[in-house]
Structure 1
C-alpha cells in the first residue's frame, strides 16, 4: 500500500506557496469541474468591541484568497465558504466575512458565503450518538478543510479533524463536551461522514496555549497540505512538538479507521519536518493543589480556589473563562478573598469548607443545584455567563471587580504583536 502524501512548504507568499503545496501533494487530483466545493476555514470568533489579535487563532484571509484564486484558475466555479463561528449572543459570521474581506471573493469570483448558524442543520447518526451537521456541508461534493496550526488547551492540538466541529449547530457542539464522555471521542466521528478531500493547514502563524486570542502566537511560515486528513494532522502535530499517538483525538480517529499515527508511514514532500519541529505549549499551568493559575499564586492571591477547567467546559464558557480570571485579578487588593471556590463545566462538584461557591455557567449550576456542601451559592446561570453578570454577582460576596482592567488586558495582548516582527494584520484584513 502506498503511503499518504503530505506536503510541507516554506511560506513566501500566499499564492505561489499554496500552489507549490497543492502540486506537491497532488491536492486537486480527484476534483471535478462540476463539483460543489465547500471551503471550511477556522473562523471561531471575532470581537467587534475590543482589540482582537487574530494571529494563529483564525485562518489568514491571504491563504483563503489564494485558494479561491487557484480554484478559479483551474476552472472551478461552484465554490462556497462556510463556517459556524461562536454565535453568542447572536451569529457573527456575516460580520466576520465583511471584516476579513470575504465579500470581495463573492463579488470577484461568485463565491457563496454561508454562516452555518443562519442556515439549516440535519441530524446525522454516528452510532452511539447523533449530531446536527450544517446542511451545506452535507450537500458538498468536496470539502477543503482550512484549519490553523495551533494548540488547544483541551485537545492539545486543533488542526483539520478538530476544525470540523465548526460544522455543528450549537447544541451539538455543546454535546461534544459531555459529562460522561471525552471530547476527544466525539468530533472525530465527523471526519468519517463528511467528504473532506483536501486539508490545508495554515501555518503562517502558530499559537501556543490556544485555541483563543489569549494564547501566544509565533510566526511559523509553513503551509501543510494533504488529501489524507489524518496524515496532515499527524504532520501538523509533529511540527508543534507533539507525537500524534499522544494526542487523544488523533489516536482515537486512527483506531476507528485501523490506521497508525507513525510519521514513518507518511511520505513528506518539501521541507524537512525535523528542521521545523519546535514544541509549542498547549496548557495553562495550575497550582498543584488546583487553586488557580500559577500566576495567581505568584501574585500572592489567597482565599480563592478556581478549579482548572476540563474538557466538559463548552466553547462558550471557555471563551469567557479567561475574562473571568482577569476580573478576579482586578478585584485583588492585597488581602485574601473571602474563602471562595469557583467550579465550572459538567463534572466539577463543589467542595465543602468554602463560604462562597461560584457556579460558573449553566452546567455547573445544574450539576450543583442541591449540593449540601455549598454554604452560599453565587450562581452564574448564563450560557455562557457575561462579564457583567460575573461583576454584579461577585459584589454579593464583597468582591469588587474592575472592568477597566480587563479592557487594559485586551489592549495588552493586542499590542504585544508588532508588524515589524511579522504580525501583519494585512494577512487578515483584505
Structure 2
C-alpha cells in the first residue's frame, strides 16, 4: 500500500489492495502503517498504469500496433479481471504478435483475455486466452471458430499452437525465460545502498 501511495495512487482506489486490506481486517488508508525515512509526500509521483488502445472498424489494438498498420486482428485492452499469471503473459504475447506482422492482413481474428470479455459477432476466429475466458465463452453462439487456450496459467506451447491455428505465427523466443523477468528488473537495484533489502522487510 505504501508503494501505491509513492506511485501516486490512493490504496483504497486500487481494487486488489482494497480487497486485501478488507480481507486482512485492516484499513487501506495507511493509518496503521508506520513509515520511516523519507516522507511519502516528498517522494510521491503520479505514475500512470494504462496503455493507449485504439478502436477501429476491425476492433481494438494497442496504439503502437495500430500505427504499424496491423490488419485483420482485434486484441482488446486488458481489464481488471485479468489475473497475475495471464498479465505476465500478455506483454510477451503482444510483443510476439507485433513481431509476427509481415504486412499481410490476418484472418479477422479476435483475442479475448480476462474473465468478462464477450466475443464480437461475425469475427472469423476467436482466441480465448486462459481457463477463465474459455469457461466464460465456451458456449457463446457469437463465436464462429473458437480457438481456446484452456490452461491456468496457459502454457507457452498452448499459446503458440493457438495463434498458429489462427494463422499468426509467433516466435517462441518471445516467451523464453519468463520466470527470469523479475530478476532482470531487480538487477538495476543491486549494490545501491538506498535499496537495501532490509529496508523493505515486514516485521
Match of 2:39 among 263, 269, 272: 272
CA drift of 1:325 comes to 1.5
What secondary structure, in the 3-state scheme, does the structure 2 residue paired with 1:296 have? helix
1:350 Cα offset (Å): 1.2
1:341 matched to 2:110: yes
Counterparts in 2 of 1:409 and 1:294: CA distance versus 1, 3 Å: farther
Helix, strand or coil at the partner of 1:378: strand
Deviation (angstroms), 1:295: 2.1
Q: 1:327 to 1:266 in 2, by over 3 A?
A: closer
* Alignment match, 2:65: 296
Residue 244 of structure 1 and its aligned partner are, at CA, apart by: 3.4
Contact 2:112 2:119 in 1 (8 A): yes
1:284 aligns with 2:51: yes
Give, in angstroms, the shift of residue 342 of structure 1: 0.7
Name the CA shift for 1:241/1:365 in 2 (closer, same or farther; >3 Å): same
2:5–2:40 contact (8 Å) kept in structure 1: yes
Corresponding residue number in structure 1 for 2:13: 246
Kindly indicate whether residue 138 of structure 2 is the aligned counterpart of residue 369 of structure 1.
Answer: yes
| Aligned counterpart for 1:261 among listed residues 29, 42, 49 | 29
Structure possessing the higher relative contact order (Cα contacts under 8 Å, 6 or more residues apart): 1
Q: 1:292 to 1:276 in 2, by over 3 A?
A: same
Superposed displacement of residue 344, structure 1 = 1.9
2:150 to 376, 381, 403: 381
Q: Does the C-alpha gap of structure 1 residues 269 and 300 become closer, same or farther in structure 2, counting only changes over 3 Å?
A: same
Q: How does 1:348-363 map to 2 (within 5 A)?
A: 348-363=117-132
What is the number of equivalent residue pairs in this alignment?
191
CA deviation string 1:106-147 (max 9, x = no partner): xxxxxxxxxxxxxxxxxxxxxxxxxxxxxxxxxxxxxxxxxx
TM-score normalised to the size of structure 1? Answer: 0.38
The CA deviation at 1:405 is 4.7
Distance 1:332 1:409 in 2: 22
Larger Rg: 1 or 2?
1
Q: Specify every segment of 5 or more residues in structure 1 that has no aligned partner in the other structure, as ranges.
A: 1-158, 160-232
For the residue of structure 1 that corresponds to 2:74, the secondary structure is strand
> C-alpha distance in 1, partners of 2:178/2:4?
30
- Against the structure 1 CA distance between its residues 275 and 391, is the aligned structure 2 distance closer, same or farther, given a 3 Å change threshold? same
Query: How many Å separate the matches in 2 of 1:405 and 1:338?
Result: 22
CA distance in 2, matches of 1:349, 1:378: 14
1:79-132 per-residue CA deviation (whole Å, 9 max, x = no partner) reads xxxxxxxxxxxxxxxxxxxxxxxxxxxxxxxxxxxxxxxxxxxxxxxxxxxxxx
SS in 1 for 2:147: strand
Distance 1:258 1:402 in 2: 46
Give RMSD over aligned pairs: 3.9
Q: Retained in 1: the 8 A contact 2:156–2:175?
A: no
In the alignment, the residues of structure 1 paired with residue 181 and residue 88 of structure 2 have an alpha-carbon distance, to the nearest angstrom, of: 18
Alignment of 1:16-415 (within 5 A): 159=1, 233=2, 236-250=3-17, 253=21, 261=29, 270-288=37-55, 291-406=60-175
Shift of 1:411: 10
Match of 2:199 in 1: none
The Cα shift of 1:418 comes to: 10
Q: Map Cα deviations across residues 267-301 of structure 1 (whole Å, 9 max, x no partner).
A: 86542332211122223332246613222122222
